């Protein structure tokens, strides 16, 4: 009996069994997230070897990339949650229909967003207050990532839908492949041709010498290849999503209405968070290249801590969604709290580890001593908030599985703009980049507390 069948047929599961189910479903996703972080570390390190200016050019536009990706990815949840609920209810044909409608919708939306990204690419670095020496690379990086936005969303959509059916292993394995592919393409595209002496023999190594542009191309091509593989598995191999090509599946009003009901608040939430990060980047940019690079590397380093949280978030959405579909509300609430507490504990542990190892992490990411020193200083401030950050991530995923997205999105809006951006604007002038990260720490603690309260009060899980 697989996990989906167990949820459909049982409501009286022991606490130990619930923890085992949550962990077994989460582990492949956590591994996948950690693999993605390893890829980001390698990307950052390879770009970092090009100098602080190259790192700053990527860091400058990263928050805007997250804004575009986050808003586009929100459309995915509108269909993935419906798929989880249909699978939980045993409506396999319905799940396949939702998958096809969502595929078309997500690709159309991502193409529109890609066009917008291309239109603003040359103007963005100036809007963000970048120094002249990093504007060209920043434009190139953002333009290429924007062009590949539909490819990245194909990967996210197919992987997310597979996870909604309870298959977390396939996306996890292909995430490892994504990392390996990206490393190979980075090595071929970022550096120029070089020579390696091994046992007295000189070996010529190829290299396109594209620098920052090569890093963007490697990321885009990796997403395209793995996205196509995930789509093939979802559309041809997964028993819940498998497409019957002879069957016509038109857009259904109720399906699109439900998708919008779930997705629009998430899109607003993602836009609010990423938009605030863009504004924060704009506040930090006048501090100079060292501060921008340190800020970028600190964000990359911290991602090791919260990626397990996002792995558990996916499992929380799947488990709660399937329980709601099977009409087991009490079981859904239990899984929501189990996954949230697990997220808090794991992220507290990863934060503690990062506190001690972050000097070595920064040494790997960049050879610039000034960037390393500032990055370590600011990151250690924020690590105190990791348990609360974990609470907000996983609780949001649990509520998303129940279709409760509007109020959590409003909470995120209030937290990120009312606390983080406000404090950042007040503190940066006096404390520099340190002030920005003090603001981040305070906001994440506040956000975690209000999400725990919301999870307790959520009517969708009562």
- Give 61-97 as a DSSP string: HHHHHHHHHHHHHHHHHHHHHHHHHHHHTT-HHHHHH
Query: Mean pLDDT over residues 230-248, rounded?
Result: 89
- Cα 236 from Cα 387, distance rounded (Å): 40
Phi/psi for 192 (5° steps) reads -85, 180
pLDDT at 148 (0 to 100): 95
DSSP per-residue string spanning 380-444: HHHGGGHHHHHHHHHHHHHHHHTT--HHHHHHHHHHIIIIIIHHHHHHHHHHTHHHHHHHHHHHH
The H-or-E segment that residue 376 falls in is helix 369-382
From CA 192, how far away is CA 461, in angstroms rounded?
56
| Burial annotation 196-213 (CB, 10 A radius, 16+ → b, else e) | eeeeeeeeeeeeeebbbb
For the chain, give the mean pLDDT: 87
pLDDT number for residue 22: 84
Band (376; pLDDT cuts 50, 70, 90): very high
Residue 38 scores a pLDDT above 90: no
Contact indicator for 380, 241 with CB cutoff of 8 Å: no
Q: What is the crossing angle of helices 212-236 and 15-48, to 10°?
A: 150
Q: Percent of the chain at pLDDT above 70?
A: 94
Q: Any idea which of 202-211, 282-291, 329-338, 406-415 has the lowest mean pLDDT?
A: 202-211
Compute φ and ψ for 10, nearest 5 degrees: -130, 140
Indicate if the pLDDT at residue 128 is higher than 90.
no
Residue 1 has pLDDT above 60, yes or no: no
pLDDT at residue 91 tops 80: yes
The per-residue pLDDT for 296 is 82
Alpha helices in 10-148 (DSSP H): 15-48, 52-88, 92-120, 124-127, 132-147
Percent of the chain past pLDDT 90, that is, above it, reads 41
Per-residue pLDDT band at 3 (split at 50, 70, 90): low
Give, for 229, the enclosing helix (H) or strand (E): helix 212-236
pLDDT band at 368 (very low <50, low <70, confident <90, very high): confident
Note the pLDDT of residue 62: 80
Which pLDDT belongs to residue 350?
92
pLDDT at 257 over 80: yes
> Residues 121-138, buried b or exposed e (16+ Cβ, 10 A)?
beebbeebebbeebbebb
How buried is 451 (Cβ within 10 angstroms: 0-12 exposed, 13-18 middle, 19+ buried)?
A: buried
| Residue 65: pLDDT over 70 | yes
Confidence of residue 198 (pLDDT cuts 50, 70, 90): low
Q: Which of 394, 390, 387, 384 is nearest to 440 (CA)?
A: 384
| Mean pLDDT in residue range 314-330 | 86
The conformation of residue 199, written as its DSSP 8-state character, comes to: T
Name residue 194's beta-bridge partners.
205
Determine the 3-state secondary structure of 50 from DSSP: coil
In this predicted structure, what is the pLDDT of residue 264? 85
Q: Could you tell me if 294 and 378 are in contact, meaning their C-beta atoms sit under 8 angstroms apart?
A: yes
Per DSSP, the chain holds a count of helices (H) and strands (E) of 17, 2
Ramachandran quadrant class, 327 (left: phi over 0; alpha: psi -120 to 50; beta: rest): left
Has residue 196 got a pLDDT over 60? no
Q: How much is the pLDDT for 201?
A: 64
- The reported pLDDT for the residue numbered 226 is 95
Comparing 79 with 198, the larger pLDDT belongs to 79
Distance CA 335, CA 343 (A): 12
Per-residue pLDDT at 36 = 66
Q: What is the pLDDT of residue 245?
A: 76
Question: Would the pLDDT of 217 be above 90?
Answer: yes
Mean pLDDT, to the nearest integer, of 376-381? Answer: 94
């Amino acid at each position: 009996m697989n996990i989906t069948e167990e949820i459909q047929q049982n409501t009286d599961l022991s606490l130990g069994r619930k923890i085992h189910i949550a962990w077994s479903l989460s582990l492949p996703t956590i591994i996948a997230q950690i693999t993605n972080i390893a890829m980001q570390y390698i990307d950052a390190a390879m770009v970092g070897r090009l100098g602080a200016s190259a790192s700053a050019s990527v860091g400058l536009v990263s928050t805007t990339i997250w804004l575009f990706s986050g808003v586009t990815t929100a459309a995915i949840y509108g269909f993935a949650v419906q798929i989880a609920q249909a699978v939980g209810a045993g409506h396999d044909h319905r799940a396949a229909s939702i998958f096809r409608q969502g595929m078309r919708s997500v690709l159309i939306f991502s193409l529109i967003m890609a066009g917008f990204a291309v239109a603003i690419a040359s103007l963005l670095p100036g809007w963000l207050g970048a120094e002249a020496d990093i504007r060209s690379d920043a434009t190139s990086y953002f333009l290429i990532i924007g062009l590949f936005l539909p490819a990245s969303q194909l990967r996210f959509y197919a992987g997310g839908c597979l996870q909604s059916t309870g298959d977390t292993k396939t996306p996890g394995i292909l995430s490892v492949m994504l990392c390996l592919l990206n490393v190979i393409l980075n090595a071929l595209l970022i550096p120029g041709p070089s020579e390696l002496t091994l046992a007295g023999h000189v070996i010529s190594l190829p290299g396109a010498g594209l620098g920052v542009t090569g890093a963007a191309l490697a990321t885009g091509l990796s997403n395209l290849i793995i996205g196509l593989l995930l789509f093939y598995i979802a559309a041809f191999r997964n028993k819940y999503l498998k497409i019957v090509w002879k069957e016509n599946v038109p857009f259904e009003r109720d399906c699109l209405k439900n998708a919008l009901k779930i997705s629009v608040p998430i899109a607003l939430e993602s836009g609010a968070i990423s938009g605030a990060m863009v504004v924060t980047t704009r506040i930090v940019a006048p501090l100079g290249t060292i501060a921008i690079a340190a800020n970028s590397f600190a964000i990359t380093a911290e991602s090791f801590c919260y990626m397990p949280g996002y792995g558990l978030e996916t499992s929380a959405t799947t488990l709660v969604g399937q329980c709601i579909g099977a009409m087991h509300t009490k079981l859904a609430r239990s899984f929501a709290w189990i996954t949230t507490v697990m997220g808090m504990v794991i992220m507290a542990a990863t934060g503690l580890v990062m506190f001690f190892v972050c000097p070595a992490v920064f040494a790997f990411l960049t050879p610039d001593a000034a960037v390393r020193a500032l990055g370590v200083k600011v990151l250690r401030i924020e690590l105190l908030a990791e348990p609360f950050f974990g609470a907000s991530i996983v609780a949001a995923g649990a509520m998303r599985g129940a279709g409760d997205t509007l109020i959590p999105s409003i909470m995120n809006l209030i937290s990120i703009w009312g606390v983080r951006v406000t404090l950042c604007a007040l503190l940066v002038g006096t404390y520099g980049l340190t002030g920005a990260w003090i603001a981040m720490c305070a906001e994440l603690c506040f956000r975690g507390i209000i999400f725990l309260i919301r999870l307790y009060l959520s009517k969708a899980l009562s």
